Amino acid sequence: MKHTFEEALDIFHYPFFKLLRTAHEVHVQNFDEQSVQISDILSVKTGGCSEDCAYCAQSARNGVKMPKQPLLDLETVLEAARKAKERGASRFCMSASGRCLSSGAEFEKICEMVKSVKALGLETCVTLGFLTEAQAAQLKKSGLDYYNHNVDTSPEFYSQIVSTRTIDDRIKTIEIVQKAGINVCSGGIVGMGETNEDRIKMLVLLANLEIPPRCVPLNKLVKISGTRVDDSNPIDDFDFVRMIALARILMPTSYVKIAAGRNTLSESTQALSIFAGANALFSSEKLLTVDNIKDNADGKLFDKLNLSIENPRL
């Protein structure tokens, strides 16, 4: 069923407790309300990206002096994956900076990482920028479970954040990934200067894809000095919870993930978000170039909320 912006806008502005109750009812119809899925992420290649994303420290066009890190060796990646599994993560994500990877030695090494992490008993996820159909097929053959490719924001606001690509470019890669039989992880970033209407339009766009993303990460902007959005106003916590609830209602069977910026959310805001339908989290102390939660903070929160960690389920 296709959703309209007007419908989503109306839902977003439900009285707060009605919105949470509606979203929670959708959630319990599709998921175990007392469990969350945990992922870990590692930057396997960092910095020097040719794209001009306004929020990203890895862009060579921003004013951030971030040193370039070449592709990590396999054993370093596997050691990080083993530690993630020990912490309870069921999915391990590997991110390589850049617009795309050529189908050469680096791409072959990424495929070997996917195979080796998969052999540890973890779900695998990568984010490599744009893909060709041949690359997507090769990743699928290597055992890739998820491909992360965020749409970032609404179509209307997109050009104010990125000029080196279009949102249609992003959607094309999502379609290539889905055609190859790989699950898509796609969401966006909030707090970059966009309006609530932009945030709603982004969720409607994702929900109306031919196949909605299996996982929808919502990132609260982590401001980095030197980027073009380092002076933007942060999203209000209640609006963030409304975003979670709307994502759950529009995409009932998708995992809704609280991603970057969770370390700025209080335990109470996180609890409201989970009640509203968030059922996936990043557990690592670092999310690529920014800080995440402190060691064992999740364990303490899960105990307070009587939550358990979900086993992999594709």
- As a whole number, mean pLDDT of residues 263-291 equals 83
For residue 231, how many other CB atoms are within 10 A of its CB? 9
> Is 79 within a domain?
yes
pLDDT (tens digit, 9 = 90+) per residue, 78-91? 999 999 998 889 99
Lowest mean pLDDT among 13-27, 33-47, 133-147, 193-207: 33-47
Q: What is the CATH number of the domain that holds 85?
A: 3.20.20.70
pLDDT (tens digit, 9 = 90+) per residue, 163-204? 888 999 999 999 999 999 999 999 999 999 999 999 999 999
> Is 308 within a domain?
no
> Is 180 within a domain?
yes
> Is 313 within a domain?
no
- pLDDT tier at 314 (50, 70, 90 boundaries)? very low
Residue 48 confidence (pLDDT): 63
- pLDDT tier at 312 (50, 70, 90 boundaries)? low
> Is 309 within a domain?
no
pLDDT (tens digit, 9 = 90+) per residue, 207-264? 999 999 999 999 999 887 777 777 899 999 999 999 999 999 999 999 999 998 888 9
Q: Which two tokens stand for residue 196?
A: 């609530």
pTM of the predicted model as reported, rounded to 2 decimal places: 0.92
Lowest mean pLDDT among 17-26, 275-284, 294-303: 294-303
> Is 181 within a domain?
yes
Report the domain count for the chain: 1
Residue numbers of the domain that contains 118: 5-301
The residue assigned the tokens 């059922």 is 279
> Is 146 within a domain?
yes
In single-letter form, the type of residue at position 54 comes to A
